[in-house]
Amino acid sequence: MSPIMRDWLEKGKVFQEKLVVIRRDFHQHPEIGFEEKRTRKRLIEHLEAIGLIVQAPMARTGVVALLEGDKPGKTIAIRADMDALPMEELAKHPYQSQSPGRMHACGHDAHMTYVLGAAMILKELKSELCGNVKFIFQPAEETTGGAKPMIDEGVLENPKVDAILGGHVWPDVPSGNIEVVKGPVMASTGQINIELQGKGGHAASPHENSDPIQMATEILQKLQNFVSRGVDPLENLVISICSFHSGETFNIMPEKAVLKGTVRTLNNELRLGLEEKMHKLIKSVTDYHGGSYQFELQHLYPATVNDPEFTDFAKTSIRDLIGEDHVQVGTKPSMAGEDFAFYLEKIPGTFLRIGNYSKEKGLIYNLHNPYFDIDEEQLGKIASIYAKVAYDFLNHQ
Ligand code: NI
């Protein structure tokens, strides 16, 4: 079947004004992870207005809607995250946050709007669609993660989802461009807690005590030695100890030291082997000093690994819409985390970087900055991109 020549950009433009209104409403009413009740209500209203069937609630505040094409075929999901951050917005504009201490500083207001825009466009193409599109709005990306509970509650089933598309506004990429990354795009995240138990006593007699501060500093060193000597230099691993608490005063050797930190890698296999290696390392130090320890490595998000084949397909689909010059191929993953990773563990898909840098428009701030804002002029265009990738996947793949 030859592709229908269609002006996809025009499709998005039709809804541009409406999308700005929708985005500003989300922006003015930010809600943090698992508290997205108003956001959820609004999403349902918008989806029903489009004429979509909204499915039963998932992950407490999550929203899922299904568009069934008139012809049979595969199912693709498009995902947005819903939550805001616990921070004060400092930028002064007419759509400033109306909730004190809450701000959409990570662009999730835009992410939801893109997906709603794609739903508006695709609904009009229902009669042509070979298969289904599932629109996933997921809570709590910034906190404990909404993706995993959504998957556990069956978001990728009924109908079974074959591929997934997502994206994030990206301050390093010029507005108007899309960056695709093949393979790892975001790192895994984990939290380390180490509690060292020594034996306290007079600072003048260290040989009669067991010094937890000495143990902690040796462990700090050895963890970094492990990064440089225990791991393939071509792999990426970051261990950062960011909290170290021990002792009260200058002449009493304390009983205890507590270290907290984070561990990140782009390699999910490397990640799973870390716990045992760190146990060994900590044990060797505490044994030597006659102390004991408690250690916990809490895995948060896996690395987000884009499927190379699906990424290539998405790249071609997007290039045909916005032109070769505006699709860039990124080679540098970010060491920040993203729970889109959980979907990609189950099915192929890609997580796009949506350009959001523009000096002229004052879009120079990083994510989570109190002055962060998104390029509203791109809303319709990104909706077109999402819609086209979904359409091409169902009708031309
Ligand atoms: Ni985010």
How confident is the model over 112-162, as pLDDT tens digits? 999 999 999 999 999 999 999 999 999 999 999 999 999 999 999 999 999
Of 35, 36, 83, 179, the active-site residue reads: 83
Summarised one tens digit per residue, pLDDT across range 57-83 is: 899 999 999 999 999 999 999 999 999
CA of residue 93 to ligand 1 center, whole Å: 21
What value does the mean pLDDT take over residues 38-59?
95
Judgement on whether residues 182 and 192 belong to the same structural domain of the protein: no
Q: Based on the fold, state whether residues 261 and 340 are members of the same structural domain.
A: no
Confidence of residue 98 (pLDDT cuts 50, 70, 90): very high
Which of the 8 DSSP states describes residue 359? Answer: T
If you compute the radius of gyration of the chain from its CA atoms, what whole number of angstroms results? Answer: 24
HEC readout, 308-354: HHHHHHHHHHHHHHHCHHHEEEECCCECCCCCCHHHHHHCCEEEEEE
The answer, yes or no, to whether residue 238 has pLDDT greater than 70, is: yes
269-to-69, 167, 189, 349, 361 alpha-carbon distances in Å:
38, 24, 13, 20, 42
Instruction: Indicate which residue of 89, 109, 141, 179 is catalytic.
Output: 141
Same domain? 43 vs 171: yes
Q: Measured in angstroms, how far is the CA atom of residue 338 from the centroid of ligand 1? A: 7
340 shares a domain with 314: yes
Given 285, 301, 317, the domain boundary residue is: 301
252 Cα to the center of ligand 1, angstroms: 45
Residues 53 and 183 in one domain: yes
Structure token digits, residue 26: 């989300």
CATH number for 192: 3.30.70.360
CA-nearest of 362, 363, 194 to 278 is 194
pLDDT, tens only, 324-353: 999 999 999 999 999 999 999 999 999 999
Cβ atoms of 210 and 291 within 8 Å: the answer is yes
154 and 110 fall within a common domain: yes
Beta carbons within 8 Å of 160's beta carbon, 6+ residues apart: 75
Q: Are strands 130-138 and 71-81 parallel, antiparallel or unpaired?
A: parallel
Q: What is the pLDDT of residue 2?
A: 44
Can you say whether the dihedral through the CA atoms of 174, 175, 181, 186 is positive or negative? positive
Query: For 88-235, where are the alpha helices, taking DSSP H only?
Result: 108-123, 147-152, 212-229
Cα–Cα distance measured from residue 305 to residue 340, given in angstroms and rounded to the nearest whole number: 9
**Measured distance CA(116)–CA(94) in Å, rounded:** 22
251: helix, coil or strand? coil
Boundary (domain end) residue, out of 301, 334, 366: 301
Q: Are 262 and 378 part of one and the same domain?
A: no
Q: Is 154 found in the same domain as 34? A: yes
Domain ranges, residue 84: 4-187+303-395
Contacts with 360 (C-beta within 8 Å, 6 or more apart), sequence order: none
The DSSP secondary-structure symbol of 43 reads H
Q: Are residues 285 and 352 in the same domain?
A: no
Q: What is the pLDDT of residue 56?
A: 83
Shared domain for 194 and 169, answered yes or no, is no
User: Tens digits of per-residue pLDDT, 281-314?
Assistant: 999 999 999 999 999 999 999 999 999 999 999 9
Rounded to the nearest whole angstrom, what is the distance from the C-alpha of residue 142 to the centroid of ligand 1? 7
Q: Cβ-count burial of 355 within 10 angstroms (0-12 exposed, 13-18 middle, 19+ buried)? A: buried
- The alpha carbon of 25 and the centre of ligand 1 are apart by a number of angstroms equal to 18
Ligand 1 mean position, distance from CA 250 (Å): 44
The alpha carbon of 203 is separated from its chain's Cα centroid by a whole number of angstroms, namely 47
Backbone angles phi, psi at 134, to 5 degrees: -105, 125
What CATH number is associated with residue 362?
Answer: 3.40.630.10
Can you give the pLDDT at residue 1? Answer: 40
Q: Which tens digit of pLDDT belongs to each residue from 160-194?
A: 999 999 999 999 999 999 999 999 999 999 999 99
Query: Does the N-terminal peptide bond of residue 308 adopt cis geometry, omega within 30 degrees of 0?
Result: no
Q: How far apart are CA 149 and CA 138, in angstroms?
A: 9
Q: Is the pLDDT of residue 6 over 90?
A: no
Q: What average pLDDT does the chain have?
A: 96
Q: CA neighbours within 13 Å on the CB side: how many for 105?
A: 21
Classify strands 71-81 and 163-174 as parallel, antiparallel or unpaired.
Answer: parallel
Q: Judge contact between 155 and 57, C-beta under 8 A.
A: no
Ligand 1 geometric centre to CA of 47 (Å) = 22
- Tell me which residue of 184, 281, 190 sits closest to 230, measured CA to CA: 281
Location of structure tokens 């505040």: 61
CA–CA separation, 62 and 57 (whole Å): 6
141 annotated active-site: yes
Distance 40 CA to ligand 1 centre (A): 17
Tally of structural domains, the chain: 2
Clarify whether 83 is annotated catalytic: yes
Q: How confident is the model at residue 4 (pLDDT cuts 50, 70, 90)?
A: low
Do 44 and 88 belong to one domain? yes
Tell the burial category of 72 from Cβ atoms under 10 Å away from its Cβ (0-12, 13-18, 19+).
Answer: exposed
Average the pLDDT over 378-397 and give the result.
96
For ligand 1, the distance from its centroid to the CA atom of residue 114, given in whole angstroms, is 14
Rounded distance from Cα 170 to ligand 1 centre (Å): 9
- The answer to whether 387 and 118 have CB atoms below 8 angstroms apart is yes
Residue 3 confidence class, pLDDT cut points 50, 70, 90: low
Confidence class for position 5, pLDDT limits 50, 70, 90: low
Q: Which residue, of 256, 277, 301, is where some domain finishes? A: 301
259 and 364 part of one domain: no
